[in-house]
Structures are given as C-alpha cells and as structure tokens.
Structure 1
Amino acid sequence: MPCALLPPARLSLAALILLAACGASPAPAFFGATRHDVQIDGRAFTVFRKENRVEVIRLGYARPAEREAIPEQMLRAVAKATGCTPVEASFQGDSGERRGRIRC
C-alpha cells in the first residue's frame, strides 16, 4: 500500500519505527568520533568522544518528571563510557543531547 494511502495513524507509526531504527547520530563536529553505548539507571545513552570533547545523547522517551535527573545521568554516562571525568561546567544542551569536555 503506498504511503499516500495509509491512514495518518499508520503513517505516524511507520515514521516512528523508521526513526527508532536510525539510532543516535553525532553532530557534524563529532563525525569520526568513537561511539560508546551505555546504560545508566536503566536508561540508554550514546556517547561520542573526540579527543577531550564529548557529545552524549539520551535514547528513548523521557517523561517531563524524569527529565530533572537526566543531566546527572548524562555525566555518569560520559564517565562510564570514557573513563574520564566530565568537566560539568562545560556541558551545554538539554535532556536529549549535551556536549562538553572531559579531563583524563
């Protein structure tokens, strides 16, 4: 059945499935970076490391009530993935994606 003939609900579901299959992709500044997939408190994160810079991406949905804890979980994900100390003050972003520096 062509996409144009799919009901909106089915089309939306198909789009979500395709997006979920893509996984996390780095920002252009992190192309060629080393990728690490880690779990913190049951939540999945992908960490891209390029020298002393990192990008951390939360995978999956987080309800608004859960988002307050995510920045700290992201820092723990960076530490677990790299074995280095995240420079907390350098991190910028939101509960879905943050970038910052590490100290090894």
Structure 2
Amino acid sequence: MRVLLLLLFCAGCGAQPAPLMFGGARHETTVDGHRYTVYRKANQVEVIREGWAAPRDHAKIRATMIAVVPWLTGCDVLPSTVRGDSGEMRDSVTCPKGRR
C-alpha cells in the first residue's frame, strides 16, 4: 500500500529539473500529443518529455526536443553539446543579445 501511495505521489509531480537547473526559467508546450518542459538557466537548457512514447517515435521526439528550445527560449542549440535521450536532454545554447 505504501508503494502505491508513493507512486501516485510521484506521478503527480510532473517534470522536475536537475539540481543544476534549479532557479531556471520554465517553459511548457505540447507537440504531436507529447508534453515537453524546458528549463533554461544562463546558457544551459534541459528538455524533459513527459509521458510514454512508442519506441518507433523516439528519433522524432529527439528532433522535436531540439526544435522546441529556440521556439520557447529564443536561443539556438549548439548541436555538438546535445546529451541525453528522448526522455531528458541537456544542451548548451547561444542566445541573441538581450536574451542572456
């Protein structure tokens, strides 16, 4: 019973940033039925996909995770810095003057 309550509690938590991203700006969007949360702090971003995805969708989801960063933050992803998978991804970004 305790395990069930713990699982229910965790399911309601939603996307939480890595400790490195605490205090960063939070942005949310839904694309093709998948919900994404983006955290940006200085020149770093973390993208989290919430929910389940079929294995055949993972390549498309990774591309979407990279695409939502400039859309939500106004900053461009540095491709050589992309780390992670279709559930959680971290990148460095370069932002136009005024978006730093």
Matched, 1:83 2:43: no
Matched, 1:67 2:73: no
**Separation in structure 2 between the aligned mates of residue 25 and residue 82 of structure 1, nearest angstrom:** 18
Structure 1: tracts of 5 or more residues without a match = none
1:87 to partner: Cα distance: 1.2
Does the aligned pair in 2 maintain the 1:55–1:100 contact within 8 Å? Answer: yes
Moved over 4 A (4+): none
- Rg larger in structure: 1
Aligned positions, number: 95
Structure 2: tracts of 5 or more residues without a match = 96-100
The within-5 A match list for 1:1-104 is: 3=1, 11=4, 15-104=6-95
Output the aligned Cα RMSD.
Answer: 1.7
Quick one: percent identity of the two aligned structures? 43
Which range is displaced more, 36-45 or 91-100? 36-45
Give 2:77's aligned amino acid.
P
1:103 to partner: Cα distance: 1.4
Query: What is the SS of the residue equivalent to 1:39?
Result: strand
**Separation in structure 1 between the aligned mates of residue 60 and residue 54 of structure 2, nearest angstrom:** 11
Aligned to 2:98: none
